[in-house]
Amino acid sequence: MHSGILILCNAFLLFLIQPILGKSLLPKWGGTAHVWTTCLLFFQTALLAGYLYAWKIDKKPSLSAQATLHAALWAISATLIPALAFFPTMLPELTEFPTLAILLELTLRIGLPFLLMASTSSLLSAWHFRTSHTQHPYAWYALANLTSLAACLLYPIAIEPSIASSSQQNLWMLLYGLLALGMILHSLNIARRSKDILPRDPIASPANLPRTPWLCLSLSACSSIVLAATTNHASQAGMIVPGLWVLPLALYLASWWLAFWHPIFQSWIAQTGLFYLGSLCGLSAVVLKLWLPWYGLVACCIAALACIALACHGLIYRLRPSAESMPGYYLQIALGGALGSLFASVIAPWCMNDYYELHAGIALGALALAWFHSRDLYPKLFHDPMARRFSWPLTILCPTLLLAAMSMLLGTPSIEACIDKKRDFYGVVTVIENQKQGIRAMLHGRIRHGTEPLEGPLHTDQTTYYQSDSGAALAFGWCQSHFSQPLNVAVLGLGTGSLSLYARAQDSMRYYEISPAVCQMAEKHFRYLSSHRGLTEIRVGDGRKLLERETLKPDTPAHHLIVVDAFSSDSLPIHLLTTQALELYKQRLAPEGILALNITNRNLDLAPILFATAKQAALKPLLVESKLSPFEPPTRQVRWLLLFPQDATLPAWPGARDQLAPSIRSSGSTTSNRPIWTDDFASPLHAMRW
């Protein structure tokens, strides 16, 4: 089989498996965007390992030995690939170290196959150069990135909304088996023909370019950091991963293809103009993230990544060596990408209390570009007026102004006073105070999760989602009048702990919160939890997992009311909304107990899908809408979906309805044409407000 066909097929499968695995990990880790950042760390590190393998194997003098070893490893990986479906059940729980747990699982599930696929583009390009008469050994790298781009775009558009997760993995394993067969046959053919291959003269590399390995490393790290940072910011804007994950990744791959294909991106003017345009877009997204609509924020993030990546990758291609040094060159690129991902997924969350990765990536890229172009333009100062008056001064001035502007942005105080800020695996939690309104609020990302008055008594109408006419208040009132014994209430999602205001002294409250930072902030800065004179318990972890463990303990009391309040954030934990999740809630509910879901979301309309999913789970839905908060715009509403047992009589509350509004039905958002979400088949695109 032709090496070019294998390279393209390999690149397609290499980047198709990334969103498939990322989606499979989401239910375990609460649906946070940092799951994808950690996945990027694994993929970039595995890519580095693949290039290192290609570089080492290319050092072997015998081409026959190289090809034979490569064929043997592909054969081993093909026999191990069915373990992709079974390894997750064999791994220990490492809930306190989510990044380590995700890396371990990905290594066991896909480590060897991913390493071999990562090495293919570099290794087969080198073999093709030695066995043919091509004079363009880097062309396959550009085409491979174009094929990877197609895989990334195909996943959210055609695969995720229409194919179940298990079927996605099975289909990928089948395609991988066919690719492995082709690679084995091709490698054996190379080994057989290697005796007839004569040494070739090297292809000359561009002249007068500095051979500085750290420059390629810095540029590759810059684009990798910006990829992770813009994906994080875009995920907070409204479209949940993995549908949005692959869009920045696709543009990142497209930038490699364009930079390696068109010579315009090797010029000073293109690199400088694109980089600082991208920096402007990225910093605009950071500054205006609370005011931009979701599509505006996503557009700024995408534009920033595309421009910065094109500038960095254009210079990387300009620094390319001769064809004999291709494996080492790709190794430098992969090492920079891995270091960038390591910074974004491990170092930055550990040492920074906010999303400052984008600032760091932009600063690194600006310094690298300035260093190269100032040295490259310096000899022209004595005979080129354009370089002396325009190019060289801008090369020095632009990064200076950019770094000064970022320093000013970081040092400028916000309108609302920040009392405390903490970052963990699940995001950034900020406590702010607004003296004019007299409130204190908790923000998770850019979503407000609760408020309380700075002074005076606590009151339900000063909360964010739990006013006296909200679905939560009605659910508590119904349960307190319906059950004669004290209530046992479970709440998935702590926030500020505002729901404790509705609990009586004899009622028990048990909160399930996945983010340790939220727990610390709620107990330290808000009075709601301490206001409840009864039993209040907080369990840290994924609510669904913890409820599943409770079902295994027969002595655990059932809940009269389960409140699921994890959907107001733009990072949607879909695994809490599936048919299997609703069945679990039913198991944990006492007879005639009810389930209350906070489905308030700016960008997702969850009501039609949950109406259909609830009926599938034999529950009767009741939708309750009310004003969101006295501190929010009057047009915004809080939406609660209350699910009653099948034989229950629904209460006749004002504004509550057991069917979708006629305006919604006329627009096509009915329960009959919306899919039912299951653990194996669910996509946020089904609920997107287009």
- What is the per-residue pLDDT across 43-100, written as a single tens digit (0 to 9) for each? 999 988 988 888 888 777 778 888 889 899 999 998 888 766 555 555 556 667 788 8
Largest Cα separation within the chain, whole Å, is 93
Angstrom distance (rounded) from CA 313 to CA 216: 9
* 204, pLDDT greater than 50: no
* 631, pLDDT greater than 60: no
Contact status, residue 622 vs residue 647, Cβ threshold 8 Å: no
* 235, pLDDT greater than 90: no
Least confident piece of the model among 135-144, 416-425, 492-501: 135-144
Q: What percent of the chain lies above the pLDDT cut of 70?
A: 86
Task: Name the CATH architecture for the domain at 1-196+321-353.
Answer: Up-down Bundle (1.20)
Residue 211 is predicted with a pLDDT of 55
Q: Which of 538, 626, 613 is nearest to 582 (CA)?
A: 613
Ranges for all domains in the chain classified under CATH 3.40.50.150? 469-687
The H or E element spanning position 35 is helix 34-58
Q: Which of 612, 618, 603 is nearest to 567 (CA)?
A: 603
If one compares 672 and 542, the residue with the highest pLDDT of the two is 542
Residue 600 is predicted with a pLDDT of 85
* 487, pLDDT greater than 90: yes
Residue 121 is predicted with a pLDDT of 79
Burial (Cβ within 10 Å: 0-12, 13-18, ≥19) of residue 263: exposed
Q: How many residues does the chain have?
A: 690
Question: What is 472-526 written as a DSSP string?
Answer: HHHHHHHHHHH-SSPPEEEEE--TT-GGGGG--TT-EEEEEES-HHHHHHHHHH-
* 451, pLDDT greater than 60: yes
Residue 156 is predicted with a pLDDT of 81
Residue 292 is predicted with a pLDDT of 79
Residue 207 is predicted with a pLDDT of 40
If one compares 534 and 631, the residue with the highest pLDDT of the two is 534
Q: Which of 466, 461, 417 is nearest to 441 (CA)?
A: 417
Please give the average per-residue pLDDT across 220-226, as a whole number: 95
Residues 6+ apart with CB under 8 A from 204: 322
Question: What is 553-592 written as a DSSP string?
Answer: -TTSPPEEEEEE---SSSS--GGGSSHHHHHHHHHHEEEE
Residue 436 is predicted with a pLDDT of 83
Mean pLDDT of the chain: 84
Residue 242 is predicted with a pLDDT of 58
Angle at 325 between CA 323 and CA 327, to 5 degrees: 105
Residue 206 is predicted with a pLDDT of 44
Ranges for all domains in the chain classified under CATH 1.20.1250? 1-196+321-353
CATH code for residues 469-687: 3.40.50.150
User: Which 3-state string (H, E, C) describes 348-398?
Assistant: HHHHCCCCCHHHHHHHHHHHHHHHHHHHHHHHHHHCCHHHHHHHHHHHHHH
586-596: pLDDT as tens digits: 999 999 999 99
The H or E element spanning position 305 is helix 294-318
507-527: pLDDT as tens digits: 999 999 988 999 999 999 999
Helices and strands (H and E) in the chain: how many = 22, 12
Please give the average per-residue pLDDT across 570-592, as a whole number: 87
Contact status, residue 617 vs residue 595, Cβ threshold 8 Å: no
Which stretch, 49-53, 119-123, 209-213, has highest mean pLDDT? 49-53
Residue 443 is predicted with a pLDDT of 86
